[in-house]
Amino acid sequence: MKSPVMWLVLLALGLAGSARADEAKLKACFIYVGPVGDIGWSHAHDEARKLTMKALPWLETQYVESVPEGQALPVIDRLVKGGCQVVLTTSFGFMDQTLEAAKKYPKVVFAHATGFKRAPNMATYMADFYQIYYLNGLMAGALTKSGKVGYVGAFPIPELKRHISAFAMGVRAVNPQATVNVKWISAWVSPVKAREAAEALMAEGNDVLAFTEDTATVVQVAGRKKVPAFAHYSPMQRFAPDFVVSGQLVHWEKIYIDFLSKVRDGTYAPGKLQDVDYWWLLREGAVEMGGQPGVPINPKFVDALKKAQMTVGGKQVSVYDRVQELLKDMSSSKPGFDPFTGPLPDRQGVTRVPAGKTLTKEELNQMQWVAPGVTGPVADEPK
């Protein structure tokens, strides 16, 4: 028979062991296409990683930055050998190698951002901006005097095609003859190319700028020329306080906290991820409109947007009121408006979305056509 003292010792040891088990870390590793100091995409993912660690004390993380697309597999090999239980790859161009790694390491959990290929141990996720791009387009259409809006684009992948198309549809809802003129720079992070493209667009008469490139270069160039611009991914209003109208901000931590919590409790595990596809928008709080948090529209542009008028349902309303109305609607639990509701033609005049139909997330994720008003060559555009 064990003495009472021995029982207490055994109980204490049992509780200590249980506590250690509860404190067991989950190791999640992130692969970024750019440097964490890029201010844009990779910076936003890394800020979310830090916020996720604060929210989940049992989480351990590691990241590798500036990994070229097409060179992810050796990095994944190294991370898995280093004990990573979850690998999150954060760029479209990592998709095929993430899928290859998922087959190679069937006991590791993988998640790929922005793609559409999945496996039993590989999920996909996206915090998408197409709703916000439409709203930004409304404001751009109101502010352009030349009817020419410039866009600096990284690569013509489906993500950018839907964003640029949503932006162009917003521009044309206010200014039906306006164009969105795109210059591709074939780089996610290139301040030099971004500057050259922005300057060329302004020289061609584009008097409002938007972009997809992971630095604040376009905002800074536009500010020096006193041209309104829209920020991208991270807070950029501080780089041109008088000229950033709005923009799109991301909260990847909303997805990371949910996903990694479910990995830890076993809801998500190898064999259970084939159909896991996060598609989180304004409604889920994964994205936010604005050039800085909590400021959907720069106050310096409010008066101009209130004076600008557009036609909605046969009635004249201010662009400012329309933006606020749609922002509220699309942030609600059951949005009534979606920019990609038909009838919608592409810029060739081919009907891509029939009347009464709204594009699904799968169709948006594989979108190759672009909307009317977009000018410039677009690779893989259907004829």
The strand pair at 109-113 and 122-127 is best described as parallel
Nearest-angstrom CA–CA distance, 33 and 213: 12
List the end-to-end C-alpha distance of the chain, in Å, as a whole number: 85
Report pLDDT for 201. 98
Q: What is the mean pLDDT of residues 131-160?
A: 98
How far out from the chain centre does Cα 333 lie?
20
User: 333-366: per-residue pLDDT in tens?
Assistant: 999 999 999 999 999 999 999 999 999 999 999 9
232 Cβ partners below 8 Å, 6+ apart? 40, 210, 211, 212, 213, 214, 218, 247, 248
Report pLDDT for 265. 97
263 Cβ partners below 8 Å, 6+ apart? 26, 28, 85, 86, 109, 269
Residue among 269, 262, 136 at smallest CA distance from 208? 136
Report pLDDT for 52. 98
User: 262-286: per-residue pLDDT in tens?
Assistant: 999 999 999 999 999 999 999 999 9
Other Cβ atoms closer than 10 A to 347: 17
Q: Residue 319 has which token pair? A: 């662009």
pLDDT > 70 in the chain, percent: 94
Alpha-carbon torsion, ordered 322, 326, 328, 330, to 10 deg: -170
Eight-class DSSP state of 47:
H
CB-count burial class (<10 Å; 0-12, 13-18, 19+) for 283: middle
Q: Residue 354 has which token pair? A: 């029939």
Q: Residue 214 has which token pair? A: 């992971």
**Is pLDDT above 70 for 218?**
yes
Residue among 36, 84, 92 at smallest CA distance from 61? 84
Nearest-angstrom CA–CA distance, 227 and 238: 15
Residue among 208, 139, 199, 203 at smallest CA distance from 180? 208
Angle at alpha carbon of residue 99, lines to 95 and 100, rounded to 5°:
115
Place of tokens 């160039």: 221
Cβ-contact 294, 249 below 8 angstroms = no
**Is pLDDT above 60 for 21?**
no
Backbone angles phi, psi at 228, to 5 degrees: -60, 145
**Is pLDDT above 90 for 13?**
no
Helix, strand and coil percent figures for the chain, each rounded to 5: 40, 20, 40
Report pLDDT for 38. 82
**Is pLDDT above 90 for 375?**
yes
Bridge-partner residues for 248, per DSSP?
Answer: 232, 289
pLDDT band at 20 (very low <50, low <70, confident <90, very high): very low
Nearest-angstrom CA–CA distance, 199 and 150: 10
User: 56-101: per-residue pLDDT in tens?
Assistant: 999 999 999 999 999 999 999 999 999 999 999 999 999 999 999 9
Residue among 359, 342, 346 at smallest CA distance from 164? 346
pTM of the model: 0.90
Q: What is the mean pLDDT of the chain?
A: 94
Report pLDDT for 82. 98
Report pLDDT for 346. 98
The strand pair at 351-353 and 344-345 is best described as antiparallel
Nearest-angstrom CA–CA distance, 162 and 142: 21
Nearest-angstrom CA–CA distance, 265 and 273: 14
137: helix, strand or coil: helix
Backbone angles phi, psi at 32, to 5 degrees: -110, 145
Place of tokens 């204490």: 12
Residue among 256, 286, 299, 333 at smallest CA distance from 54? 256
Q: Residue 105 has which token pair? A: 């390491």
Report pLDDT for 23. 61
